[in-house]
Structure 1
Amino acid sequence: MTLPLRYFLFGTLRHLPLLEAVLGGPAVTEPATLADHAVMRAQGHSFPILIRQPGARAEGLLVHTDADGAARLDLYEEGFDYKVTEVTVETASGPRTARLFASDGAPLRPDGPWDLDDWARRYAAATVEAVPEVLDLARTQPFAVQQARYAMVLARADSTLRARAHPAPATLRRSPRPDDLQVEHLERPYAWFFGVEEAHMRFRRFDGSLSAPVRRAAFVMADAVTVLPYDPATDNVLLIEQHRFGPQVRGDTNPWTLEPIAGRIDPGEPPETTAEREAMEEAALPLRALHPIAQCYPTPGAVTEYLYLFLGLADLSQTHQRIGGLETEAEDIRSHVIPFPRLMELVQNGEVQNGPLLTSTFWLALNRARLRCG
Structure 2
Amino acid sequence: MKMEDKLRYIKKHILSSEWATLYRVDYDYKFDDGNWKRLSRESYDRGNGTGILLYNTKKQTVILTKQFRMPAYVNTKKDGLSIEVCAGALDKNENPEVCIIREVEEEVGYRISSAKKVLECYTSPGAVTEKMFLFVSEYDDSMKINEGGGLEIENEEIEVLELPFSQALKMIEAFEIIDAKTILLLQYAVINKLLD
**Aligned mates of 2:159, 2:54 — CA distance in 1:** 14
TM-score of the two chains, using structure 1 as the length reference:
0.49
Is the Cα contact below 8 Å between 1:219 and 1:304 reproduced in 2? yes
- Counterparts of 1:116-195 in structure 2 under 5 Å? 176-195=2-21
Q: CA deviation at 1:304?
A: 0.6
Task: Quote the residue 2:78 is aligned against.
Answer: 253
Task: Quote the residue 2:101 is aligned against.
Answer: 276
Instruction: List alignment gaps of at least 5 residues for structure 2.
Output: none
**Aligned mates of 2:92, 2:143 — CA distance in 1:** 33
Given the alignment, which residue of 304, 310, 316 partners 2:129?
304
**Aligned mates of 2:54, 2:183 — CA distance in 1:** 14
Task: Quote the residue 1:203 is aligned against.
Answer: 29
Q: CA deviation at 1:322?
A: 4.5
Instruction: List alignment gaps of at least 5 residues for structure 1.
Output: 1-174
Given the alignment, which residue of 35, 46, 49 partners 1:221?
46
Closer/same/farther in 2, CA of residues 334 and 322 from structure 1, 3 Å limit: farther
Q: Which has the larger radius of gyration?
A: 1
Cα deviation code 1:179-212 (max 9, x no counterpart): 32113432102112211111221112122332x2
Closer/same/farther in 2, CA of residues 286 and 304 from structure 1, 3 Å limit: same
Closer/same/farther in 2, CA of residues 338 and 205 from structure 1, 3 Å limit: same
Identical pairs, percent: 24
Closer/same/farther in 2, CA of residues 316 and 202 from structure 1, 3 Å limit: farther
Given the alignment, which residue of 170, 182, 189 partners 1:345?
170
TM-score of the two chains, using structure 2 as the length reference:
0.91
**Aligned mates of 2:141, 2:29 — CA distance in 1:** 50
Q: Aligned letter for 2:14?
A: R
Which structure carries more relative contact order (alpha carbon 8 Å, separation 6+)? 2
Is the Cα contact below 8 Å between 2:165 and 2:195 reproduced in 1? no
Is the Cα contact below 8 Å between 1:295 and 1:309 reproduced in 2? yes
For the residue of structure 2 that corresponds to 1:213, the secondary structure is strand
Q: CA deviation at 1:299?
A: 0.2
Structure with a larger share of its residues in helix: 1
Closer/same/farther in 2, CA of residues 288 and 342 from structure 1, 3 Å limit: farther
